[in-house]
Amino acid sequence: MWGCHASQEAPGVQRGCYTAAMTKRLWIETVGCQMNVLDSELVVAALRRQGWEMARSSGEADAVFYNTCSVRQHAEDKIYSALGRIRSVKAQRPDVVVGVLGCMAQKDQELIRRRAPWVDLVVGPGQLHQVPGLVAEVLAGGGPRIEVSLERKGHAREAIARSFESYDPDRDPAMRPTPFQAFIRTQTGCDKFCAFCVVPHVRGPEQARAPDTIVAEARKLVAEGCREITLIGQTVNSYRWSDGGRTTRLSDLLARLDAIDGLDRVKFVTNYPRDMTDDLIAAVRDLPKVCHYLHVPAQHGSDAVLARMKRGYTIGEYMEMLGRVREALPQAAVTSDFIVGFCGETDAEFQTTLDLVRTAGFKNSFIFKYSPRPGTKSYDRLPDDVPEDVKKERNRLLLEAQEAVSLAGNRRFVGTRQQVLVEGLSTRDEKREVDPGPDGSAQLTGRTMCDRIVVFDAPVRLVGRLVDIDILAAGAWSLAGVVADGLGEAVPLDGLRLTGEEPVELHSIALPPPVARPMEA
Ligand code: SAH
């Protein structure tokens, strides 16, 4: 260790010692969707195999990485300001490797180094497998590196696809937020090219992973203690794999995962409305481990806006799809995304989105103000002409409408018993930094089969297990209850009743905030 100390006083002089004698520590910040969460998990796992450890703060790290998102301007702004803050750290400790990974690296490329010349590594989503080698090169004095994929225009599809290599190395259970839950990628990239969306440009062409690879990964995760798997793809239900004349669809893949012993739950996000086929709906209905939770973003309530967005369906077609879902799965939770203030959106057009939210019965909706993204069709061809204060007000009105619908939906559960996968401390107890020890009781949080958040008091040892909860109260974004059959030390909640006739809105305990946006920055 002494040698390393010396290297810090004279950076650059004793670099050899630095890498050889000291365990290097990594700090990584991740914004964006589940794809990014998974990519960060995999990058960390790869570096840990090379002897890296996680730092407790960015201040003590030998490498600081930002895994980035480009879906909205706000997500990029956050990273550029973080890069501004890291500048002084880099000035004091020039050996620290600063890396920008993921979608913004692919989108902005050299621009990142022009705006923040102290960045050492710019690595796109298609080059993440190179990270360990690139860090070693930078530490050895090789200078800054930019590694990104080909642009989607001006090259053959094959060549573009090859340049977006799927990154799926071995998993490391220690690197997941919880060891009993895991994401598995079904496909990379996207070919839908919605007018507003940067994803096809930064994540490349849609490329499916082989079903055998996905199933083998699932089996391995389950053998390591994983109980819930969430399949992720930009449009996961477009999944198709053809092999020797046989085609595997998402429904076939779900059936294979459902058969894995030891696995309790399977989810999948995000669905594209047009690909919500009957075989998939039947699979969700018939396979006991598949959660009754379907995230199928509508984006807007008006045909004219959907056409401007190039979404490829009308609202009538969306409602027809929803009707098929409701008929087969009356209890399923359907959720949506909406964009307010898209180019040219009139008051009347916005009203159609409000009407849709009021009538469609979504469990919840993620609502975004339109953010023009360079490289997309709407950026090139349509003016961003809805003023910011109008976007804000429409966002507020839509959220208000959704909140009322969500509350009414959740109230139907008061008085019922729900099986919950216990995920960990509630946001309240996490904030309080409660540490009750494994046998102590705390306010915990978990999710039902239809993805509703439930908070309850119970021993911490229940984390990672399936537990029955009697639901006592409902808020718009979560339910509260007690462990059924006295398994936990349930704490009575004053004034709440089990009958469900007159459910009481919950005020006596802190409800977690609205669910984190699955694909949010
Ligand atoms: N294919 C994934 C990721 C898309 S980004 C999915 O469907 O979830 C997630 C959401 O962000 C989209 O559904 C859309 O509602 C929103 N979004 C995408 N581009 C946007 C933009 N330019 N401005 C505002 N919101 C956007």
Distance 516 CA to ligand 1 centre (A): 14
Task: Tell me if the pTM is above 0.95.
Answer: no
The answer to whether the beta carbons of residues 49 and 27 sit under 8 Å apart is no
Residues 465 and 15: their CA atoms lie apart, in Å, by 47
**Token pair 């807007």 in the structure block, residue:** 300
β-strand partners of 192: none
**Among 120-129, 382-391, 415-424, 430-439, which stretch is predicted with the lowest mean pLDDT?**
430-439
The more confident residue out of 405 and 492 is 405
Q: What is the DSSP secondary structure assignment for residue 477, as one 8-state letter?
A: S
pLDDT beyond 80 at 49: yes
pLDDT at 476: 94
Residues 16 and 4: their CA atoms lie apart, in Å, by 9
The more confident residue out of 35 and 511 is 35
In short, whether 40's Cβ falls inside 6 Å of ligand 1 is: no
Residues 440 and 451: their CA atoms lie apart, in Å, by 26
Average pLDDT of the chain? Answer: 88
Q: Pairing state of beta strands 333-340 and 365-369?
A: parallel
Residues 508 and 505: their CA atoms lie apart, in Å, by 9
pLDDT beyond 60 at 520: no
Angle CA 419–425–430, to nearest 5:
155
- What b/e sequence results for 187-202 when a residue is b if at least 16 CB atoms lie within 10 Å of its CB, and e otherwise? bbbbebebbbbbbbbb
Residues 484 and 481: their CA atoms lie apart, in Å, by 9
* 235-262 per-position pLDDT tens digit: 999 999 999 899 999 999 999 999 999 9
Nearest to 473 by CA among 495, 443, 448: 495
pLDDT band at 498 (very low <50, low <70, confident <90, very high): very low
In short, whether 519's Cβ falls inside 6 Å of ligand 1 is: yes
Sequence-distant (6+) residues with CB within 8 A of 345 are 305, 370, 386, 394
Structure tokens at 507: 């005020």
In short, whether 62's Cβ falls inside 6 Å of ligand 1 is: no
Strand order in the sheet with 25-30: 53-54, 25-30, 63-68, 97-102, 121-123, 145-147
- Determine the 3-state secondary structure of 44 from DSSP: helix
Q: How far is CA 71 from CA 32, 200, 336, 417, in A?
A: 8, 11, 17, 38
- In percent, the amount of the chain with pLDDT more than 70 equals 89
Structure tokens at 185: 């990628």
Residues 341 and 357: their CA atoms lie apart, in Å, by 16
In short, whether 130's Cβ falls inside 6 Å of ligand 1 is: no
Residues 79 and 112: their CA atoms lie apart, in Å, by 10
In short, whether 71's Cβ falls inside 6 Å of ligand 1 is: yes
**Among 80-84, 180-184, 380-384, 505-509, which stretch is predicted with the lowest mean pLDDT?**
505-509
The answer to whether the beta carbons of residues 39 and 102 sit under 8 Å apart is yes
Mean per-residue pLDDT for 30-44?
93
CA of 269, closest atom in ligand 1 = 8
In short, whether 167's Cβ falls inside 6 Å of ligand 1 is: no
β-strand partners of 294: 334
pLDDT beyond 90 at 479: yes
Mean per-residue pLDDT for 374-402?
97
Q: Pairing state of beta strands 63-68 and 97-102?
A: parallel
Which residue CA neighbors atom 24 of ligand 1 most closely?
370
Strand order in the sheet with 333-340: 293-295, 333-340, 365-369
* 408-450 per-position pLDDT tens digit: 999 999 999 999 999 999 888 887 777 777 678 899 999 999 9
Which residue CA neighbors atom 19 of ligand 1 most closely?
197
- Count of CB atoms situated within 10 Å of the CB of 221: 25
In short, whether 196's Cβ falls inside 6 Å of ligand 1 is: yes
pLDDT beyond 80 at 365: yes
Residues 122 and 106: their CA atoms lie apart, in Å, by 8
Nearest to 468 by CA among 443, 493, 449, 440: 449
